[in-house]
């Protein structure tokens, strides 16, 4: 009996020791997995999940934004070590109008899009500040405003429509193109049928000068011009050149009547669903995308203008002619100042020397 009790005690001791060793081994295994949570880049390696981002826009593959977007795709896939994959849909492949693209991002049908701020103004009226005629005289002033308090104040409003953004890109100053005559004075606009961006203020701006202005998605504009539905439109140089508007229009007036930034929006719900480290990478890369878009756009404008000059008659408004337009459009400026808000107007004017 004594021998059995001795053996039983030894067996129980062995079982206890074995259990403790097993628990230690499991603990070390978990610590090892935890220790591999980040690599030298600070990227979470605990999850191998891959995130797909579809970025849709309406401009052509040779447009400055798409060229910048190609660099964005490479940058973010490299920084995330393949955990974020970017698929680009240029030239209105998914959505022919920027308004449709915004709505798709809101609904989660796509993750990202690039749109002009006048389109965002249809969702957030304060963004109409950039539609105010002759608000900025130089790009430097516009950039200072966008990169300062004005840009931040507007960006803070975007979660109200379920999107977020980081920084502003640039389409640039808008000019007048048509197939009837050179535009030299406000009266020359009267009677023209013009396509405008999907924003009420642009309709008011040109209708106040006697035009018949109607909104139309960018992807449908070339065909409408070709078919004579419109006499012309207003557009930035890069957009006009890459869209080949010189094939269907004869006159370009460098009026610089409004300045158009762009904004690359991300669905707020999608952004917040990402791991924190990927949120940081996406935010930083999107900011770089917008900065690069500006740089390429500024380079491209000179080349684009040279291309347009080969097929179009080009004239530039003198300072005296610009003043005549500004005076004529002052009622529109005043009307939309009430919508935008005096505080935002003040932030814009603070940067103007």
User: Dmax over Cα atoms in the chain, in whole Å?
Assistant: 119
> Cβ distance 169 to 65 under 8 Å?
yes
Percent of the chain with pLDDT over 70: 86
What is the per-residue pLDDT across 52-89, written as a single tens digit (0 to 9) for each? Answer: 999 999 998 999 999 999 999 999 999 999 999 999 99
- Structural tokens at position 250: 């004869």
The answer to whether the Cα torsion of 287, 292, 298, 304 is positive or negative is negative
According to the model, what pLDDT value does residue 178 have? 98
The band of 333, judged by pLDDT with boundaries at 50, 70 and 90, is very high
- Give pLDDT tens digits for 252-266: 999 999 999 999 999
pLDDT mean across residues, the chain: 88
Q: What is the pLDDT of residues 175-191, one digit of tens each?
A: 999 999 999 999 999 99
How many other CB atoms are there within 10 angstroms of residue 301's CB atom?
Answer: 19
- Predicted confidence at residue 353, as pLDDT, reads 60
Query: What does the pLDDT look like over 157-178, one tens digit per residue?
Result: 999 999 999 999 999 999 999 9
Tens digits of per-residue pLDDT, 101-151? 999 999 999 999 999 998 999 999 999 998 899 999 899 999 999 999 999
Q: What is the pLDDT of residue 324?
A: 97
Query: What confidence score (pLDDT) does residue 47 get?
Result: 61
Span 234-244, mean pLDDT? 92
pLDDT above 70 for 24:
no
Under the banding of pLDDT at 50, 70 and 90, the label for residue 349 is confident
pLDDT at residue 175, as a whole number: 97
pLDDT at residue number 135? 93
For the chain, what are the domain ranges? 51-349
CB burial of 172-200 (b: ≥16 within 10 Å; e: otherwise) equals bbbbbbbbeeebeebebbeebbbbbbbbb
Note if the pTM is more than 0.75: yes
User: Quick one: pLDDT at residue 231?
Assistant: 98
Domain range 51-349, its CATH number among 3.20.20.140, 3.40.30.10, 3.80.10.10, 3.40.190.170: 3.40.190.170
Reported as a pLDDT band with limits 50, 70 and 90, residue 219 is confident
Strand spans (E) along the chain: 51-56, 84-89, 112-116, 163-165, 169-178, 193-196, 212-215, 232-236, 251-254, 259-267, 313-316
């Amino acid at each position: 009996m004594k021998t059995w009790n001795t053996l039983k005690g030894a067996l129980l001791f062995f079982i206890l020791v074995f259990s403790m060793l097993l628990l230690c081994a499991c603990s070390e295994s978990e610590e090892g997995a935890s220790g591999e949570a980040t690599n030298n880049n600070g990227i979470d390696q605990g999850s191998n999940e891959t995130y797909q981002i579809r970025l849709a826009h309406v401009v052509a593959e040779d447009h400055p934004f798409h060229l910048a977007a190609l660099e964005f795709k490479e940058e973010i896939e490299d920084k995330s070590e393949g955990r974020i994959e970017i698929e680009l849909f240029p030239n209105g492949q998914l959505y022919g109008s920027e308004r449709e693209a915004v709505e798709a991002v809101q609904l989660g049908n796509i993750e990202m899009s690039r749109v002009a701020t006048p389109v965002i103004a249809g969702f957030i009226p304060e963004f109409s500040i950039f539609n105010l005629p002759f608000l900025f005289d130089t790009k430097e002033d516009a950039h200072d405003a966008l990169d300062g308090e004005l840009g931040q104040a507007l960006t803070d409003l975007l979660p109200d429509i379920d999107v977020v953004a980081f920084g502003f890109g640039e389409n640039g100053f808008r000019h007048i193109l048509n197939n009837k005559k050179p535009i030299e004075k406000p009266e020359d606009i009267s009677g023209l049928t013009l396509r405008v961006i999907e924003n009420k203020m642009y309709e008011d701006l040109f209708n106040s000068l006697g035009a018949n202005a109607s909104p139309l998605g960018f992807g449908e504009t070339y065909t409408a011009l070709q078919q004579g539905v419109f006499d012309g439109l207003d557009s930035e140089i890069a957009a006009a050149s890459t869209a080949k508007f010189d094939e269907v229009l004869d006159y370009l007036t460098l009026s610089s009547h409004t300045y158009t930034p762009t904004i690359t929006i991300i669905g707020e719900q999608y952004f917040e669903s990402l791991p924190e480290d990927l949120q940081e990478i996406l935010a930083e890369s999107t900011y770089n995308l917008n900065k690069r878009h500006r740089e390429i756009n500024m380079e491209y404008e000179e080349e684009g203008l040279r291309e347009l000059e080969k097929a179009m008659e080009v004239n530039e408004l003198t300072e005296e002619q610009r003043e005549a337009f500004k005076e004529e459009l002052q009622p529109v400026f005043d009307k939309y100042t009430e919508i935008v808000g005096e505080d935002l107007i003040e932030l814009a004017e603070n940067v103007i020397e």
